[in-house]
């Protein structure tokens, strides 16, 4: 410790105890400044200091006590930040500064895009600021995110406000859905906006926020999958998520992760390009065969686990492992990444870990839980039910005790009870 202080040539460290501590007179943590600002009643300063989840992306293996502390701190600090932003939004509304209020609510929707309270606050702020169209656009985004990631509908208050806005605008049909109609692109067909390098051949699929097309890469004469963000979402939170996905994919290199070929913007459309895999998704395979052989199911799970470990090593969680996001080809699996490096609470309920369902801070063990759900479905034909005990070998007697035990561990309610890594789970099921 003496040598360290001497080599630093600074008074940044305190000596004289068994602990190595920074000198608070020289170095300060932003979390300390954040909490002091809140304690002295300065939410403006606190909001400026809060940059996102505490120690986001920082992970220590084999340190469960540290991880539990980090999770608790992340949750506590995020809650304080949200309260500060809500206080600022209310104050801006009270003084008639509706644009400032809307911006506070907008930041809250970025922190938690699935919160109906935050969505309603932003919509009301936009309406008060005179941007009714913006309020309706965010309602569409909110509904699409809930449908895609949680399988639920917006809060009744959100729906009521939408109906009111449509009625005031002279719209007909109070039961009209919020979601964008199939093919709605604001009058600008994506095919005409594309660079000359790509030619669209057909649509492969459409979700709440994106569409995927089979296209021809003219430069390299190859088939590619071209994923496009719906243009009406390009100016709100969905665009930031899409751009984060591009950034994460760009830094991953693994044989079981689809590489990013290209990404860009064309006439207001955000898009990314990956290889086209003709085999189809695992969901399509299960719809046809219902169950896979034990050897194939275990092999696929092991390869996905290897891909997840690579992603986790680059501080990226998937958060939405399910058969739809695993593309199967002959003897191989390609992981269709929808990775997130930030704290967005995305997922599909049947495959979500208990901590993800509770909106707690996640680490790689949440993906392990989701992968175990997918393996269970590959073996039995349906994902496990949280309230029921596993009956794997009663449904598939040929499954080994080792696989059953590994699945039980991977599906533990508490993250500390699971495998530390996805590859460790993969090794356990193939031993």
- 296 vs 399: CA distance, rounded Å: 12
Residue 365 lies in domain: 282-430
Of 275, 300, 319, the last residue of a domain is 275
376 shares a domain with 336 = yes
**What's residue 22's pLDDT?**
62
Provide the domain count of the chain: 3
- 342 vs 183: CA distance, rounded Å: 30
- Decide if 47 contacts 33 (C-beta within 8 A): no
Q: What is the mean pLDDT of the chain?
A: 79
- Decide if 415 contacts 363 (C-beta within 8 A): yes
Count other C-beta atoms under 10 Å from residue 269's C-beta: 20
Count other C-beta atoms under 10 Å from residue 420's C-beta: 17
- 410 vs 418: CA distance, rounded Å: 5
Q: Output the CA–CA distances (angstroms, integers) from residue 126 to 102, 129, 273, in the order listed.
A: 6, 5, 34
286 shares a domain with 426 = yes
Worst-scoring range by mean pLDDT, 252-266, 333-347, 374-388?
333-347
- 200 vs 373: CA distance, rounded Å: 35
Which domain CATH number covers 325? 1.10.510.10
Worst-scoring range by mean pLDDT, 58-67, 101-110, 392-401?
58-67
What is the mean pLDDT of the segment spanning 83-96? 94
What is the mean pLDDT of the segment spanning 87-95? 94
Q: Encoding tokens for residue 392?
A: 């794997």
pLDDT higher than threshold 90 for residue 292: yes
Of 241, 275, 309, the last residue of a domain is 275
| Residue 174 resides in a domain | no
Q: What share of the chain is helix, strand, coil (3-state, %, to 5)?
A: 50, 10, 40
**What's residue 347's pLDDT?**
59
pLDDT higher than threshold 70 for residue 183: no
| Residue 409 resides in a domain | yes
291 shares a domain with 264 = no
pLDDT higher than threshold 80 for residue 182: no
140 shares a domain with 61 = yes
Of 137, 168, 199, the last residue of a domain is 168
Residues 220-252: pLDDT tens digits?
999 999 988 876 655 555 566 667 777 777 778
pLDDT more than 90, % of the chain:
29
Stronger pLDDT, 414 or 344, i.e. the higher one: 414
Bridge partner list, 219: none
- 309 vs 325: CA distance, rounded Å: 16
Banded pLDDT at 212 (limits 50, 70, 90):
confident
335 shares a domain with 267 = no
- Decide if 319 contacts 241 (C-beta within 8 A): no
pLDDT higher than threshold 80 for residue 55: no
**What's residue 321's pLDDT?**
84
- 408 vs 314: CA distance, rounded Å: 27
| Residue 176 resides in a domain | no
| Residue 180 resides in a domain | no
**What's residue 350's pLDDT?**
79
339 shares a domain with 372 = yes
Residues 6 or more apart whose Cβ sits within 8 Å of residue 83? none
Which domain CATH number covers 163? 1.25.40.10
404 shares a domain with 334 = yes
The H-assigned helical ranges of 9-63 are 30-39, 43-49
113 shares a domain with 66 = yes
pLDDT higher than threshold 50 for residue 176: no
Residues 300-353: pLDDT tens digits?
999 999 999 988 888 887 888 888 888 875 434 454 445 454 444 455 677 888
pTM score, whole prediction:
0.54
Residue 270 is given by DSSP the state E
- 49 vs 44: CA distance, rounded Å: 9
Stronger pLDDT, 282 or 149, i.e. the higher one: 282
**What's residue 206's pLDDT?**
76
214 shares a domain with 256 = yes
Give the strand order in the sheet containing 198-206: 198-206, 210-217, 222-229, 269-275, 262-266
Alpha-carbon Rg of the chain, whole angstroms? 24
Neighbour-count burial of 193, counting CB atoms closer than 10 A to its CB (0-12 exposed, 13-18 middle, 19+ buried): middle
């Amino acid at each position: 410790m003496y040598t360290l202080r001497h080599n630093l040539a600074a008074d940044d460290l305190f000596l004289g105890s068994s602990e190595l501590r920074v000198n608070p007179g020289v170095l300060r943590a932003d979390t300390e400044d954040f909490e002091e600002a809140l304690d002295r009643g300065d939410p403006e300063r606190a909001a400026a200091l809060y940059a996102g989840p505490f120690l986001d992306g920082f992970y220590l293996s084999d340190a469960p006590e540290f991880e539990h502390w980090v999770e608790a701190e992340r949750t506590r600090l995020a809650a304080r930040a949200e309260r500060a932003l809500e206080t600022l939004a209310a104050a801006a509304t009270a003084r008639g500064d509706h644009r400032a209020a809307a911006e506070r609510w907008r930041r809250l929707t970025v922190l938690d895009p699935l919160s109906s309270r935050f969505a309603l606050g932003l919509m009301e702020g936009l309406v008060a600021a005179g941007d009714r169209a913006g309020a309706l656009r965010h309602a569409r985004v909110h509904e699409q995110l809930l449908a895609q990631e949680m399988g639920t509908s917006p809060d009744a208050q959100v729906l009521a406000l939408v109906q009111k806005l449509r009625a005031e605008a002279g719209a007909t049909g109070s039961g009209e859905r919020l979601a964008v109609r199939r093919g709605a692109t604001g009058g600008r067909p994506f095919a005409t906006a594309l660079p000359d390098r790509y030619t669209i051949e057909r649509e492969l699929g459409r979700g709440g926020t994106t569409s995927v097309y089979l296209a021809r890469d003219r430069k390299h004469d190859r088939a590619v999958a071209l994923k496009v963000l719906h243009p009406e979402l390009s100016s709100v939170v969905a665009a930031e998520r899409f751009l984060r996905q591009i950034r994460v994919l760009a830094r991953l290199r693994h044989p079981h992760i689809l590489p990013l070929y290209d990404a860009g913007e064309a006439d207001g459309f955000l898009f990314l390009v990956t290889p086209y895999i003709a085999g189809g998704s695992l969901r399509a395979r299960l719809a046809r065969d219902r169950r896979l052989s034990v050897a194939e199911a275990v092999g696929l799970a092991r390869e996905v686990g290897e891909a997840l470990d690579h992603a986790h090593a680059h501080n990226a969680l998937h958060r939405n492992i399910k058969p739809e996001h695993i593309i199967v080809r002959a003897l191989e699996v390609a992981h269709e990444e929808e990775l997130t490096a930030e704290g967005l609470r995305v997922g599909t309920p049947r495959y979500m870990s208990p901590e993800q369902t509770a909106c707690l801070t996640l680490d790689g063990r949440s993906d392990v839980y989701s992968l175990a759900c997918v393996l269970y479905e590959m073996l039995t034909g349906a994902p496990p039910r949280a309230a029921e005990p596993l009956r794997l070998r009663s449904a598939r007697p040929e499954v080994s005790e080792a696989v059953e035990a590994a699945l039980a561990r991977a599906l533990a309610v508490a993250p500390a009870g699971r495998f530390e890594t996805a590859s460790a789970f993969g090794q356990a099921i193939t031993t």
